[in-house]
């Protein structure tokens, strides 16, 4: 049986042709003061283990650094579940949770965070790391150890047959043949498949289900981060409405959006910004963003700022000429009515898909009245022009985890109906290249739903009025 390779391989660092002399440096400085607290992450770990048997062993890997080319990496983003449970944004980390406790260095502990060891020479190039001691201080974990001890601690636990192992799979994008890939393969060699989630009768209950249930309900701390992300996003929409006119390229709009994100403190977009004009407005996840807008175009702008891991997701559709054409107005008003129906259905206790059902009903009736489908019962006709669902959960992932059962207070969902009419021989040309989507982020409460993104105008008269006020 192979032993796990040394956990320093988590680091994925590229060896330089020369090394700088080691320098004494401080641990990383957190310049923002509104990160989620160590107490929040500690409570989430406690909530996970509270739902697992005492002999459980939870093993989670942080996301690896992803290489773009040669010695250049993509911008790092921690795996959402790992961030939720630890608050750690360092690549090359791992977490062990043991409800029943473990003996480590003569002490009984219930959680171990493995972090990359301090290396001052490397930190000159890649930035400062916490190291084990400061990770315990800053992140509030019971025990933090250098990742070099990962195999020393884990392998005996896997081999003694006393634990039921839970894990969520391995980090994405680990190249086959890489050191990390081999390490993860070795990990699997030491795990009893019968103990893995989903392995069949008598297997461990899925860890995925436990985490999904917890992550779906947002705490006050989480809502602070999410509201800030949404506020930044609505500000970007307002900037676009005030500045964009025909002749702007889609990438110029994207640049204004993401400048506004950064200017207001967002670390990065929560997803690739969608800016689709003219014929591109009918492509749901269009992300090329290279076309130059023309008079009479509508532009679908689907964007979301991310703040400390939490992402907004707000869509507005604007007329670059400042006013909607009669046909654009007719489709927009229909989508707006459908969204209003979907929002009204977003109430605690209702099925998750109630909003989709209500919005779809309104869209079908409206498309029939406009003569675009044969009747309100023409399901196939509806799906020709509205081919996606109305809602998804929102949080650490833009398409966040959740049960898709009955809605619960504290959940945040999107409501985003749309109609997309491409060029087609059987469609009157007056409707061609009209794509309209309106999307808002909605908090489920004990009472009426709360539209968190209401600061971005969504009624026709409001949009046109703001577009007349050129900044």
Active site residue 365: no
Which is catalytic among the residues 123, 439, 440, 441?
439
How deeply is 23 buried, as exposed, middle or buried, from its count of CB atoms within 10 A (0-12, 13-18, 19+)?
Answer: exposed
Active site residue 308: no
Q: How far apart are alpha carbons 131 and 217 in whole angstroms?
A: 32
Residue carrying structure tokens 């702007």: 248
Which is catalytic among the residues 71, 107, 189, 462?
71
Question: At a CB cut-off of 8 Å and minimum separation 6, what does 337 contact?
Answer: 362, 366
Which is catalytic among the residues 388, 404, 408, 464?
388
Which is catalytic among the residues 250, 313, 400, 441?
313
Please state the φ and ψ torsions of residue 353, each to the nearest 5 degrees. -85, 5
Active site residue 31: no
Active site residue 231: no
Which is catalytic among the residues 259, 399, 448, 462?
399
Which is catalytic among the residues 302, 358, 400, 440?
302
Intra-chain end-to-end CA distance of the chain, in Å: 68
Active site residue 416: yes
Question: At a CB cut-off of 8 Å and minimum separation 6, what does 392 contact?
Answer: 398, 399, 400, 413, 414
Active site residue 399: yes
Active site residue 437: yes
CA 69 from chain centre, in angstroms, equals: 25
Active site residue 392: yes
The beta-strand segments (E) located in 238-309 are: 268-269, 274-277, 298-303, 305-307
**340 SS3 class:** helix
Active site residue 439: yes
Which is catalytic among the residues 392, 400, 411, 440?
392
Which is catalytic among the residues 420, 440, 441, 458?
420
Structure tokens at 454: 């209401």
Q: Active-site positions?
A: 71, 285, 302, 313, 388, 392, 399, 416, 420, 437, 439
């Amino acid at each position: 049986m192979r032993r796990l390779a040394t956990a320093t391989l988590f680091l994925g660092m590229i060896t330089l042709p020369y090394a700088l002399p080691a320098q004494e440096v401080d641990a990383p400085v957190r310049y923002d003061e509104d990160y989620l607290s160590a107490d929040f992450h500690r409570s989430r770990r406690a909530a996970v283990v509270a739902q697992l048997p005492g002999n459980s062993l939870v093993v989670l890997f942080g996301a690896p650094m992803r290489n773009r080319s040669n010695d250049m990496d993509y911008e790092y983003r921690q795996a959402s579940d790992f961030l939720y449970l630890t608050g750690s944004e360092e690549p090359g980390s791992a977490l062990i949770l043991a409800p029943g406790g473990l003996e480590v260095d003569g002490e009984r502990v219930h959680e171990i965070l493995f972090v990359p060891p301090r290396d001052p020479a490397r930190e000159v190039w890649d930035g400062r790391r916490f190291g084990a001691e400061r990770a315990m201080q800053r992140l509030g974990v019971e025990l933090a150890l250098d990742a070099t001890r990962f195999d020393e601690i884990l392998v005996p636990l896997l081999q003694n047959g006393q634990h039921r192992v839970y894990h969520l799979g391995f980090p994405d994008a680990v190249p086959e043949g890489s050191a990390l890939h081999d390490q993860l393969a070795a990990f699997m060699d030491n795990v009893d498949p019968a103990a893995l989630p989903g392995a069949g009768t008598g297997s461990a209950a899925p860890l995925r289900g436990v985490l999904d249930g917890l992550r779906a309900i947002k705490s006050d701390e989480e809502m602070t981060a999410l509201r800030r992300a949404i506020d930044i996003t609505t500000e970007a929409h307002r900037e676009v409405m005030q500045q964009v006119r025909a002749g702007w390229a889609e990438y110029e709009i994207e640049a204004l959006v993401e400048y506004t994100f950064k200017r207001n403190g967002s670390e990065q977009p929560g997803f690739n910004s969608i800016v689709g004009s003219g014929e591109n407005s009918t492509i749901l996840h269009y992300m090329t963003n290279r076309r130059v807008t023309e008079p009479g175009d509508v532009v679908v702008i689907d964007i979301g700022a991310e703040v400390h891991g939490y992402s907004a997701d707000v869509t507005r559709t604007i007329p670059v000429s400042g006013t909607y054409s009669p046909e654009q107005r007719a489709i927009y008003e229909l989508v707006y009515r459908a969204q209003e129906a979907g929002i009204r259905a977003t109430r605690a206790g209702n099925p998750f898909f109630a909003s989709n059902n209500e919005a779809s009903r309104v869209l079908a009736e409206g498309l029939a009245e406009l003569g675009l489908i044969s009747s309100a019962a023409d399901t196939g006709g509806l799906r020709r022009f509205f081919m996606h669902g109305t809602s998804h959960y929102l949080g650490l992932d833009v398409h966040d985890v959740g049960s898709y059962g009955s809605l619960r207070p504290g959940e945040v969902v999107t409501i985003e109906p749309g109609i997309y009419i491409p060029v087609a021989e059987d469609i009157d040309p007056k409707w061609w290249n009209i794509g309209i989507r309106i999307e808002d982020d909605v908090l489920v409460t004990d009472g009426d739903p709360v539209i968190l993104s209401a600061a971005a105008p969504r009624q026709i008269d409001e949009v046109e009025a703001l577009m007349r006020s050129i900044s």
